[in-house]
Homo-oligomer: A and B are copies of this chain.
Amino acid sequence: MARISRREAIAVAGGLAGSALIGDVAKAAESVERWGLHEIALEGPKEGNPFADIEVSARFTQGRTAIETPGFYDGDGVYRVRFSPPDTGEWRWTTQSNAPLMNGREGRFTVTAPSNGNHGPVSVVGYHFAHADGTPFRQIGTTSYGWTHQPEAMRRLTLETMRRAPFNKMRMAVFPNASLKTNVGPLPFARTGEADRDWDASRFDPAFFQRLEASVAALGALGVQADVILFHPYDGKYGFDEMSAAVDEAYLRYVVARLAAYRNVWWSLANEFDILKTKTEADWDRLFQIVREADPYGRPRSIHNWRTLYDNGKPWVTHSSIQNGSAVLDDARAETYRSVWKKAVIFDEVCYEGSLNERWGDLTGPEMVRAFWHGLIAGTYVGHSECLPTEPGGGFWLGEGGELRGESAPRLAFLKSIMEAGPTPGIEPIDKWWEQHLGGVPGRYYLRYFGDEAPTEWAVDLPRDDLTGGERFKVDLIDTWNMTIEPVPGEFVMRQKPNTRYFFSDPERPTIALPARQWMAVRVTRVENG
């Protein structure tokens, strides 16, 4: 799968491969594909504290377009500026730095057409998502908070699992989860001793970030968006949850300078932000704006709640990233979050498929899949994860990655195929607030999901919007668990239904039979020229 450029692939597969990028100092590649990663490496000062003392950036220009791009210190006297060109053709660059050696350097390079499979970065389009080339992005997310902090063999296993899984977004934390005993490797900051809190808040450890960005690049090579969680409350050990405002800001600027040019990066300001008692909503406002200001590309930005919702109506929130398992038990609940904030919604945490004696980690496979279907009908998106240890106290996908052991993933691949065969950019709720439980496009496409009900028939009543009578439709029965699609023979020709002004129906075939099983759906599709 050639979804990422050769240069990006250098940093692939979870190895500490970042150093492979260091080489042609003060040179850069002569060409890069559109939305690829163009890197300028520069020699600069090693003495003092380069993280704090030295600033470097570059201005990339093409015609009237100019993009100011912050650089970063990568250790060993090497500074880098990374750029992801938004358009093809020739680009020029000039550096600025308070280190004279790195100031006023210039160069140019050619941006070629994107390679096969490179659709560009994802952004929010109304209530949905799409790549820069217009390809819809049908979000089927998963979460493995700590996969990048695990031993290399485990990281490789995670990537191999992702290669075979349906997931196209991975939520992952920058900071290690202090509760995991399996973490290895450096900390984000330079160590000053062996104790957990022996680190220097004024110096980053490039090796930590090289591993992180190699992980991001490896996901990119698989076509997976990396939803990078910038803060989380699962600490109490290292103290990354209680840094000063100045250190928080320096950290954000460093992460953004290193990662923003990877086209598969999204920013999640925090996981369960409201557990992080060291920060107020005003702090989150400020941190959001630092990220927005530092990121030249406007990668998607969200913040993930525990019990209290951040005001997702604020302008720096591109989409909602909600924890609420009950919301996706019912499309009408899920839809509410769209209507109030008028933004795309991802229910990134809806409890997990698992065997824990915790109610957030004990969903059955069918329950995990159900959440995705209700969310889909509502015009929203959902996230998966698994808590299935092989032995009590053992690790699982949510924390460390590795392998998937649950039943939901194959059914989510099936769901994804239904989404990909459906309308673009996505499903809209139809005749919402009137108990239709229909998503799709009025007049063209209708999807009804029955969840844990097991009806024996369904009235093919289509809400009147965009129907005038005479339209022809075909109907498919979808078993979302057994992953079958069974066409209902013949066509349905719509007429105004008697005694109501709200529905159209085929008077010859007002209902269809259903098999009295759970997890069924019905798809009603307009016949071409119908």
Interface on A for B, CB 8 Å cutoff?
307-309, 311-313, 324-327, 329-330, 332-333, 336-337, 339-342, 357, 359, 432-435, 499-500, 502
Q: How far is the CA of A325 from the CA of B308 in the complex (A)?
A: 25
CB-defined contacts of A307 to chain B, threshold 8 Å: 433
Question: Are A502 and B359 within 8 A (Cβ)?
Answer: yes
CB-defined contacts of A336 to chain B, threshold 8 Å: 327, 333, 336-337, 340
Q: Which of B308, B339, B499 contacts A309 (CB 8 A)?
A: B339
CB-defined contacts of A324 to chain B, threshold 8 Å: 433
Q: Assuming the A-B contacts A313-B311, A313-B313, are A332 and B326 also in contact, with contact meaning beta carbons closer than 8 angstroms in the complex?
A: yes
Q: Which of B312, B330, B359 contacts A333 (CB 8 A)?
A: B330
Question: Are A309 and B340 within 8 A (Cβ)?
Answer: yes
Q: Assuming the A-B contacts A332-B333, A341-B340, are A326 and B359 also in contact, with contact meaning beta carbons closer than 8 angstroms in the complex?
A: no
Q: How far is the CA of A500 from the CA of B358 in the complex (A)?
A: 8
Question: Are A433 and B339 within 8 A (Cβ)?
Answer: no
CB-defined contacts of A327 to chain B, threshold 8 Å: 332, 336, 433
Additional A-B contacts beyond A311-B313, A326-B434, A357-B499 (5; CB < 8 A): A309-B340, A311-B340, A326-B332, A330-B330, A336-B337
CB-defined contacts of A332 to chain B, threshold 8 Å: 326-327, 329-330, 333
A325 to chain B, nearest CB (A): 7
Closest chain B residue to A309, Cβ basis: B339
A-B complex: 3 closest residue pairs judged by Cβ atoms:
A336-B336, A326-B433, A340-B340
A127 to chain B, nearest CB (A): 13
Q: How far is the CA of A313 from the CA of B433 in the complex (A)?
A: 21
CB-defined contacts of A357 to chain B, threshold 8 Å: 499-500
Q: How far is the CA of A327 from the CA of B331 in the complex (A)?
A: 11
CB-defined contacts of A333 to chain B, threshold 8 Å: 330, 332-333, 336
A17 to chain B, nearest CB (A): 42
Q: How far is the CA of A324 from the CA of B327 in the complex (A)?
A: 17
Query: What are 24 A-B pairs with beta-carbon distances under 8 A?
Result: A307-B433, A308-B339, A309-B340, A309-B342, A311-B313, A311-B340, A324-B433, A325-B433, A326-B433, A326-B435, A327-B336, A329-B332, A329-B435, A330-B330, A330-B332, A330-B333, A333-B333, A333-B336, A336-B336, A336-B340, A337-B340, A340-B341, A357-B500, A359-B434
Q: How far is the CA of A336 from the CA of B341 in the complex (A)?
A: 12
A146 to chain B, nearest CB (A): 24
Closest chain B residue to A311, Cβ basis: B313
Q: How far is the CA of A16 from the CA of B324 in the complex (A)?
A: 54
Closest chain B residue to A359, Cβ basis: B502
The residue in A333, A499, A502 that gathers the most chain B C-beta atoms within 10 A of its C-beta is A333
A274 to chain B, nearest CB (A): 11
CB-defined contacts of A325 to chain B, threshold 8 Å: 433-434
Q: How far is the CA of A320 from the CA of B341 in the complex (A)?
A: 14
CB-defined contacts of A340 to chain B, threshold 8 Å: 309, 311-312, 336-337, 340-341
A432 to chain B, nearest CB (A): 8
CB-defined contacts of A339 to chain B, threshold 8 Å: 308-309
CB-defined contacts of A434 to chain B, threshold 8 Å: 325-326, 359
CB-defined contacts of A341 to chain B, threshold 8 Å: 340
The residue in A340, A341, A433 that gathers the most chain B C-beta atoms within 10 A of its C-beta is A340
